[in-house]
Amino acid sequence: MPDKLEDFRTEIAEWIAANLPEELRGQPRNEDTICWGGRKWQFRSQAQKDWLERCHARGLTCPRWPVEYGGGGMSRDEEKILRDEMNRAGAPSPLESFGIWMLGPALLKFGTDAQKAEHLPEITAGRIRWCQGYSEPGAGSDLANVQTRAEDMGDHWLVNGQKIWTSYADKADKIFALVRTDREAPKHLGISFMLIDMETPGVTTRPIRLISGASPFCETFFDNVKVPKEGAIVGEMNRGWDVAKYLLTHEREMIGGGGGGLIAGTTLSEAIGDMDMVAGADPVIRAQAMELEVDTLAFGLTMERYKDIAESGAGVGHASAMLKYYGTELNKRRQEIVMSARGSDALDWSEGLAAPWLRSKANSIEGGTSEVMLDIISKRVLELPSK
Amino acid sequence: MPDKLEDFRTEIAEWIAANLPEELRGQPRNEDTICWGGRKWQFRSQAQKDWLERCHARGLTCPRWPVEYGGGGMSRDEEKILRDEMNRAGAPSPLESFGIWMLGPALLKFGTDAQKAEHLPEITAGRIRWCQGYSEPGAGSDLANVQTRAEDMGDHWLVNGQKIWTSYADKADKIFALVRTDREAPKHLGISFMLIDMETPGVTTRPIRLISGASPFCETFFDNVKVPKEGAIVGEMNRGWDVAKYLLTHEREMIGGGGGGLIAGTTLSEAIGDMDMVAGADPVIRAQAMELEVDTLAFGLTMERYKDIAESGAGVGHASAMLKYYGTELNKRRQEIVMSARGSDALDWSEGLAAPWLRSKANSIEGGTSEVMLDIISKRVLELPSK
Amino acid sequence: MERLVDTEDEVMLRDAARGFLDENAPVSAFRANRDAGRAFDPGLWREMAQMGWAGVLIGEEHGGADMGHRAAGILAEEMGRTLAASPFLSSAVIAASALRAAGSERLSQIAEGAALYALAVDEGPKHAPDLTAMEARPEGNGFRLSGRKVFVADGASADRVLVLARSGEGDEGLTLFDIEADRAGLARGAADSIDARDFATLEFEDVEATGDDVVGEVGGGLAALAPGLRAGQAALAAELSGLTAGISAITLGYLKERTQFDRAIGSFQALQHRAAHLFAEIEVTTSAVAHAGRVLDQAPEDAQLAVSVAKARATQTAKLAVMEGVQMHGGIGMTDDYDAGFFMKRARVGAEWLGDYGHHAAIVAAMRGL
Amino acid sequence: MERLVDTEDEVMLRDAARGFLDENAPVSAFRANRDAGRAFDPGLWREMAQMGWAGVLIGEEHGGADMGHRAAGILAEEMGRTLAASPFLSSAVIAASALRAAGSERLSQIAEGAALYALAVDEGPKHAPDLTAMEARPEGNGFRLSGRKVFVADGASADRVLVLARSGEGDEGLTLFDIEADRAGLARGAADSIDARDFATLEFEDVEATGDDVVGEVGGGLAALAPGLRAGQAALAAELSGLTAGISAITLGYLKERTQFDRAIGSFQALQHRAAHLFAEIEVTTSAVAHAGRVLDQAPEDAQLAVSVAKARATQTAKLAVMEGVQMHGGIGMTDDYDAGFFMKRARVGAEWLGDYGHHAAIVAAMRGL
């Protein structure tokens, strides 16, 4: 068994060496280098396009998805080796997308064969870019408070309403959204998980400018949008909350677990620079950095341990809320410490430190606030009483 | 006016110089040196007895109480000068007591002339030692949950029940206690503030050993205790909660404000010793100590400011909960840092550091927990909604 | 010692300032400046000067109002509350205090609001005047200044610059100069500061300075600068204290209005306790800030401990307030359309300017024997 | 690398240990020891030895069970959960690991539980082996040891002592000796330790030591001690992790049972969020502790980073857990009749022993380039 894995390692290393375009090697990971794919995608370079196509052909955009949908059909150990070797080679991720992170896992668990066959190959190939439509204005953490409604018009759904915080909605081809399909049912019921093409007439988007200056999120409006019924709903009708909950848990593990680039690629030492220079004799920054480093290493081990638990079949369950909580708060601490350590240098937008610092403040809000995570832990994991 | 105060300062300084027994000068303040007074009191020395008597004769045991009750009739400015000069001379407090801190203020606000005339002179002279009977087993922070009951038997009250956390009840002469005088009334009503002699048949006490090894608190049992009606109740019948609330606020200001010896007489630097020796190159202890020192100085100024506000007549009100909260949490931090800075030396009981460290953990429980203080601030001061 | 509560005069000053700023410099005015790429509104500054704010620390003999440091702190607090941008700290507080101690004749120009000053002291990412490396090379009867100053507040818009440079070895080898900002060899580059205020980098290349330009004594630069730095640190602490009050008021309002899960979010006890803790921190910081102003007015030479306690506390409390502010608002607090982010960015700049938390905590520790 | 979850063997070991300790060494047994002035129960230790715990890190050739460091950590965790007192860390972990590396013949006595060892390394209030001053003066073929060791765990009850002394200059000038505790010139004084365990001060006055008493090489004391220290630090981290689990379980139980203001106190959201935060800290620490055991088993020479992360985390998390534990209990948690105080006191001792938070965080920082 280990031998087989070692063979796999050799094979992957050789494949990367043979296929990775030299100019992509060791690129910094940022919005200028990430490949998101989709109909509107403009490749940053021929090399980026080549790398995506080669990886897709080898099943490396979605290593653990079934081969029939363009995945790699790998085991967890193989995926880990792949990740190691990619890192070792300084290879960029060939493709990032909400289709890979969110919709794919939902379809693999809840989708019909037809839905899987229709959507998964488009995701693995990077041909369709998805966005997520959960939050609504005024709902905030109360995700089940869905007001966007879909009326049954016989052959189609008529969708009206508004979503907010839809990441990159202005760049996406399609959206998976929570819509209310039964207005009589109690709050958590009567919601369905619906797939909608963003090019359908009546769908418009407006970017939201953030305090960091960037606009990764949008408001998305649905104005008498007609959605053909065929394959529109994932999972059971009116049980979209189940799909959403599953994905929220998945998202928590991903965000807490360093997905989406939360865990910085650089070490704290690299981010801070010469500690003696910046902190001098100041024990405050020094102590904060030491504590952060201890906690960061231990949190990294915790992500490993939780993966081990998940792998063992025991299931992590609601405790995944802990990863989301701790990982995001840790990143906020890190950004504060880096800002502080870099002093007045960091206060100029052009240094590129302030934007990620400000962006990090959203980590503990998006995908379920820290407060919601603590509620989940106390109620579901610790089983503390509600009265 | 300032001239008059300067005259007062000179006068007090001379008085202290003439009256303070030399052997008391610069004594450390601890349970072996404090004078509590009372019927059972054994003076530690002739000097302690002389000092109490001389101070009492000059009105210095209760500087701001009316002269007719043995107080000093001083203004706040004069009291401050007195305190300064006492500190400068290294003079110990002549008398500490719950009578001075708690019952006296209650009687001055709620007592009848007869009650004042009966009790205040005994307090200022240190002849009667009082203890406080509020808490009951199982009630905890829910102070209004008073189960100890006093039945009206015509010429006397018949008291039955149990109090807990009565400080020094085993050494006290009398107790001021919350008792239920109307069992039909809602929780906060039907409670009276009653004065009971501890020598009355049926009153027994049992010390509670704490984690620090000391036993400053007792359980106090009332078993068919007959309390003569005359002068037994302070304030209105069944409105003892008003008196208790007033005293709780007073206690908070006192505990938060360094009364009862909470604010240590030594500076952090003295308590830690040679920082280079203990912390070496360790920025963690060093940073914690620096932060504590900043916060301690600022908190000291806050006590001054709150006194200024109170003096200005504006009234501090519920914000006094802030002093209680912050002061006690600050002392807990201080004790943790001193323990940590003193390392393994501090782990031996005989070093005398562990007992105050453990004792400090009760600071944020007694006199209203930190949680209750935060509730008061959020509801009464910030007026955050309850629904 | 004056009490730590506002006197009647101070209450009147605060009320007047608040009324003026709410009317003329609300946060929306800051936003308009930001959107227009303008660090501050010169018209607003003229009005402030007319009210005597530019001369708050300048003697009446130079046309100042001479109200003292606590009064300056009250003005700074109120400006912080609405993020009112002006050269108040650089000119009316820092430069005025340093030049007053040196008996400069330029005070009347500051009091009129006519001369805008900037202080050029930092050379690296952290405030460390004693480590100044910028060269002041003796030449003839004067000096030639060469080197680079960073993080110069109001540096791009200033008419004159106070600059600290090294004329010799050690702490006694620093000299403070007062020169016009357009002197030959001095190049200024505006930074793209996250708080949308004017911070600049100044490059000195063989800039001529005469003996007349020296503030205080040659070699006595640190001493000459000290009154300005202390006053600036105290007023900046006050501004941060006001900023904290501003964001906290917005946050408390939101906690009371915003409903989620069918109840006001301010009714959730976990948020209540955090808001209450923040209140406690604010109260403690408020005391330290008021005290620093009092000590500067009454015993300025002994004020460093009080000033450093105030700046350290104000820095930490502002950080807590803006972090809680954004988090308690949730998504909307992250949007540029909402004001919370402005408070967060200014708090970060204020944390670094004139010495960060560790800088001032170290001063406190040293003075307290730790 | 083994996964960070317990293997089947480890689950069995943990269940067996927990069953045994719940039966034979509950917290009430610790209380009985404390009340009797007894640091541990020798009968209990004999039983532990019979189960192979004394030889958990000793090779089978010396009669050990050779289960490895993760297994030792699991035993320590379970002991921490009920505050079970024994010479496990001193003898079975620290001494066994150091002597095993040196190929000592005394391992079989440890494995039997017959020889009790103590490690005498600290001389001041903080753990700093490299600053060892105690003199090892060469005399004839051996040495004379003179000086004072403090905070020696199990020092009063030990049969033998591992003692680090200075035979020369610098880090290469330290030598580790293994001597019997009743050797002439060695005086032991039991401390009155707050955790009611055996900590002693050892006074060496011209104590004779021969070449046979040297563990490892003369001048190689730090290297000889390293395996023992690392193993002890990891196992102590595990004990603290178990202690944390113990007090947290008590506290959670109390939150569910105790009512106040007519509701369970565990229903108050402010307490819920603090309990949830503590849970998160515990989970993160648990991972670090498991990892340290794994690395010690698989790459002991590279284990210091993992061990220091574990000890630092375990120290901080235990402190948080005991403080929250006492506070959430309110008054009853302050009473000696209740168990919470025992956890608090042991956590404090565990925080200092074998290097405090700052000691280990500094190691981590240095190894990570900070």
Does residue A232 sit within a domain? Answer: yes
Is D358 found in the same domain as D304?
Answer: yes
Is D237 found in the same domain as D186?
Answer: no
Question: How far C321 CA lies from chain B's nearest CA (Å)?
Answer: 15
Cα–Cα distance measured from residue C175 to residue C168, given in angstroms and rounded to the nearest whole number: 9
Is C362 found in the same domain as C242?
Answer: yes
Which among B130, B122, B81 is positioned nearest to B101, based on CA atoms?
B130
User: Across the strands, what pairs with D200?
Assistant: D152, D190
What pLDDT is stored for residue B263 in this prediction? 47
What is the dihedral sign for C-alpha D360, D121, D30, D195?
negative
| Residue with token string 């794994």 | D294
Is A24 found in the same domain as A90?
Answer: yes
Is A311 found in the same domain as A224?
Answer: no
Question: How far C5 CA lies from chain A's nearest CA (Å)?
Answer: 32
Please report how many Cα atoms fall inside a 13 Å half-sphere around the Cα of residue A263, on the Cβ side. Answer: 20
Please tell me the total number of residues recorded for chain B in this structure: 387
- Give the confidence band of B2 by pLDDT, cuts at 50, 70, 90: low
Whether C114 and chain A come into contact, CB under 8 Å, resolves to no
Query: What value of ipTM does the predicted structure carry?
Result: 0.94
Q: Taking a C-beta distance cutoff of 8 angstroms, is the pair C309, C292 a contact? A: yes
Among candidate residues D205, D222, D239, the one where a domain is terminated: D222
Is A271 found in the same domain as A358?
Answer: yes
What is the dihedral sign for C-alpha A160, A166, A170, A173?
negative
Q: What is the pLDDT along chain D (370 residues), one digit of tens a residue?
A: 578 999 999 999 999 999 999 999 999 999 999 999 999 999 999 999 999 999 999 999 999 999 999 999 999 999 999 999 999 999 999 999 999 999 999 999 999 999 999 999 999 999 999 999 999 999 998 999 999 999 999 999 999 999 999 999 998 999 999 999 999 999 999 999 999 999 999 999 999 999 999 999 999 999 999 999 999 999 999 999 999 999 999 999 999 999 988 899 999 999 999 999 999 999 999 999 999 999 999 999 999 999 999 999 999 999 999 999 999 999 999 999 999 999 999 999 999 999 999 999 999 999 999 8
Residue B33 has pLDDT above 50, yes or no: yes
Which among C249, C279, D271 is positioned nearest to B322, based on CA atoms?
C279
Does residue A320 sit within a domain? Answer: yes
pLDDT in tens, D22-74: 999 999 999 999 999 999 999 999 999 999 999 999 999 999 999 999 999 99
pLDDT in tens, B222-235: 999 999 999 999 99
Is D236 found in the same domain as D358?
Answer: yes
- Give the confidence band of B258 by pLDDT, cuts at 50, 70, 90: very low
Computed on alpha carbons and rounded to an integer, the radius of gyration of chain C in Å comes to: 21
Exposure string over B272-292, b if 16+ CB within 10 A, otherwise e: beebeebbbebbbbbbbbbbb
Is D336 found in the same domain as D231?
Answer: yes
Among candidate residues C67, C96, C115, the one where a domain is terminated: C115
Q: With 0-12 CB in 10 A as exposed, 13-18 as middle and 19+ as buried, what is D130? A: exposed
Q: What residue type is assigned to position D91 of the chain?
A: S
Mutate to test the interface with D, among A267, A284, A295, A301 (most CBs of D within 10 A): A301
pLDDT in tens, A45-70: 999 999 999 999 999 999 999 999 99
Does residue C2 sit within a domain? Answer: no
Is A269 found in the same domain as A231?
Answer: no
Q: With 0-12 CB in 10 A as exposed, 13-18 as middle and 19+ as buried, what is B186? A: exposed
What pLDDT is stored for residue C107 in this prediction? 97
Does residue C144 sit within a domain? Answer: yes
Please report how many Cα atoms fall inside a 13 Å half-sphere around the Cα of residue D245, on the Cβ side. Answer: 20
Q: Which of D267, D276, D309 sits opposite A377 (nearest CB)?
A: D276
Spell out the residues 6+ positions from residue D108 whose beta carbon is closer than 8 angstroms to its own.
Answer: D58, D62, D63
Query: Phi/psi of residue B136, each to 5°?
Result: -130, 155
Q: Which of D252, D280, D361 sits opposite A291 (nearest CB)?
A: D361
Whether C277 and chain D come into contact, CB under 8 Å, resolves to no
Q: What residue type is assigned to position C245 of the chain?
A: A
Q: Give the mean pLDDT of C255-265.
A: 92
In CATH, what number is assigned to the domain containing residue B317? 1.20.140.10
Is A185 found in the same domain as A150?
Answer: yes
Extract the tokens encoding B195. Answer: 């004065």
Interface of chain B against chain C, CB under 8 Å? 267-270, 272, 275, 286-287, 289-291, 293-295, 297-299, 301-302, 304-305, 308-309, 311-312, 314, 319, 322, 325-326, 371, 373-375, 377-379, 381-387
Does residue B336 sit within a domain? Answer: yes
Is C177 found in the same domain as C245?
Answer: no
Least confident span in A214-223, B82-91, B139-148: B139-148
In CATH, what number is assigned to the domain containing residue A82? 1.10.540
What pLDDT is stored for residue B274 in this prediction? 83
Whether residues A365 and C336 touch (CB distance < 8 A) is answered with no
- Give the confidence band of B254 by pLDDT, cuts at 50, 70, 90: low
What pLDDT is stored for residue D20 in this prediction? 98
Spell out the residues 6+ positions from residue A241 whose beta carbon is closer than 8 angstroms to its own.
Answer: A144, A178, A188, A189, A191
- Give the confidence band of C261 by pLDDT, cuts at 50, 70, 90: confident
Does residue A109 sit within a domain? Answer: no
What pLDDT is stored for residue C227 in this prediction? 97
Does residue A122 sit within a domain? Answer: no
* Collapsed DSSP state (helix, strand, coil) of residue A192: strand
- Give the confidence band of B261 by pLDDT, cuts at 50, 70, 90: very low
pLDDT in tens, B3-23: 788 999 999 999 999 999 999
Is C215 found in the same domain as C289?
Answer: no
List, as one string, the DSSP characters of C123-174: -SSS--GGG---EEEEETTEEEEEEEEEEEETTTT-SEEEEEEESSSSGGGE
What pLDDT is stored for residue A320 in this prediction? 87
Is A218 found in the same domain as A169?
Answer: yes
Is D252 found in the same domain as D203?
Answer: no
pLDDT in tens, A125-158: 999 999 999 999 888 778 888 999 999 999 999 9
What pLDDT is stored for residue A260 in this prediction? 40
Among candidate residues B189, B209, B238, the one where a domain is terminated: B238
In CATH, what number is assigned to the domain containing residue C110? 1.10.540.10
Is D157 found in the same domain as D141?
Answer: yes
In CATH, what number is assigned to the domain containing residue D302? 1.20.140.10
Among candidate residues C94, C115, C136, the one where a domain is terminated: C115
pLDDT in tens, D303-348: 999 999 999 999 999 999 999 999 999 999 999 999 999 999 999 9
What pLDDT is stored for residue B130 in this prediction? 96
What pLDDT is stored for residue A168 in this prediction? 92
Residue A29 has pLDDT above 90, yes or no: no
Whether C8 and chain B come into contact, CB under 8 Å, resolves to no
Give me chain B's average pLDDT, please: 91
Q: Which of D287, D310, D365 sits opposite A293 (nearest CB)?
A: D365
Q: What residue type is assigned to position C286 of the chain?
A: T
| CB atoms near residue A11 (< 10 Å) | 12
Is A205 found in the same domain as A263?
Answer: no
Whether D340 and chain B come into contact, CB under 8 Å, resolves to yes
Which among A39, A55, A38 is positioned nearest to A47, based on CA atoms?
A55
Q: Which domain holds residue C295?
A: 223-367
Query: Phi/psi of residue C81, each to 5°?
Result: -60, -35
For chain D, the domain total comes to: 3
Is D242 found in the same domain as D210?
Answer: no
Residue B188 has pLDDT above 90, yes or no: no
Residue B38 has pLDDT above 60, yes or no: yes
Question: How far A366 CA lies from chain C's nearest CA (Å)?
Answer: 7
Question: Residue A162: which H helix or E strand, with range?
Answer: strand A156-167
In CATH, what number is assigned to the domain containing residue A201? 2.40.110.10
Which is higher by pLDDT, A88 or C213? C213
pLDDT in tens, C298-322: 999 999 999 999 999 999 999 999 9
Cα–Cα distance measured from residue B125 to residue B65, given in angstroms and rounded to the nearest whole number: 12
Q: Which domain holds residue B339?
A: 259-381
Is A179 found in the same domain as A264?
Answer: no
Is C127 found in the same domain as C107?
Answer: no
Does residue D2 sit within a domain? Answer: no
Exposure string over C185-205, b if 16+ CB within 10 A, otherwise e: ebebeebebbbbbbbbbbebe
Is B363 found in the same domain as B272?
Answer: yes
- Give the confidence band of B296 by pLDDT, cuts at 50, 70, 90: very high
In CATH, what number is assigned to the domain containing residue D215? 2.40.110.10
pLDDT in tens, B43-101: 999 999 999 999 999 999 999 999 999 999 999 889 889 988 998 899 999 999 999 99
For chain B, the domain total comes to: 3
pLDDT in tens, B329-369: 999 999 999 999 999 999 999 999 999 999 999 999 988 89
Is A281 found in the same domain as A231?
Answer: no
Does residue C170 sit within a domain? Answer: yes
Question: How far D130 CA lies from chain C's nearest CA (Å)?
Answer: 25
Whether residues C358 and A285 touch (CB distance < 8 A) is answered with yes
What pLDDT is stored for residue A263 in this prediction? 47
Whether residues C151 and A213 touch (CB distance < 8 A) is answered with no
Is A361 found in the same domain as A268?
Answer: yes
Whether residues B287 and A286 touch (CB distance < 8 A) is answered with yes
Chains A and C: how many Cβ contacts under 8 Å? 119
- Give the confidence band of C351 by pLDDT, cuts at 50, 70, 90: very high
Is D344 found in the same domain as D293?
Answer: yes
Is B197 found in the same domain as B269?
Answer: no
Does residue B251 sit within a domain? Answer: no
